[in-house]
Amino acid sequence: MRFFSEELSKKNRIFSENREKYSAWKNELQEMNKPFFMIPTDFKHFFLKDISGGALKLFLFLGFHSKYNTGESWYTVDQAASFFGKDPRTVANWFKELEDLGLIFREQKGFKMKANTFLKPFGFKFDEMRTGEQSDYKDVLFDVEESEKIEYKPVLGLMLNYALREYTFLLVYQDGTEFPVSCFLNFDIEGMKALRVQLRRYNFPIDNYDIDKPISAAKNKKQALYNYLIKYLDEQSM
Give the model confidence (pLDDT) of 164-175 as tens digits.
889 999 999 999
CATH 2.30.29 in the chain is located at: 123-237
Is the pLDDT reported for residue 13 higher than 60?
yes
pLDDT band, very low/low/confident/very high, at 129 (cuts 50, 70, 90): low
Per-residue pLDDT of 72-98, as tens digits, reads 999 999 999 999 999 999 999 999 999
Q: How much is the pLDDT for 93? A: 98
Question: Could you tell me if 171 and 157 are in contact, meaning their C-beta atoms sit under 8 angstroms apart?
Answer: yes
CA distances from 25 to 19, 36, 57, 118 (A): 10, 14, 23, 30
Q: How much is the pLDDT for 1? A: 59
Fold for the domain defined by 123-237: PH-domain like (2.30.29)
Question: Could you tell me if 122 and 102 are in contact, meaning their C-beta atoms sit under 8 angstroms apart?
Answer: yes
CATH 1.10.10.10 in the chain is located at: 48-119
Distance in angstroms (rounded) separating the CA atoms of residues 214 and 163: 9
Fold for the domain defined by 48-119: Arc Repressor Mutant, subunit A (1.10.10)
Per-residue pLDDT of 184-228, as tens digits, reads 988 888 888 898 899 888 889 999 999 999 998 999 999 999 999
Q: Which residues contact 224 (CB under 8 A, 6 or more apart)?
A: 213, 215, 218
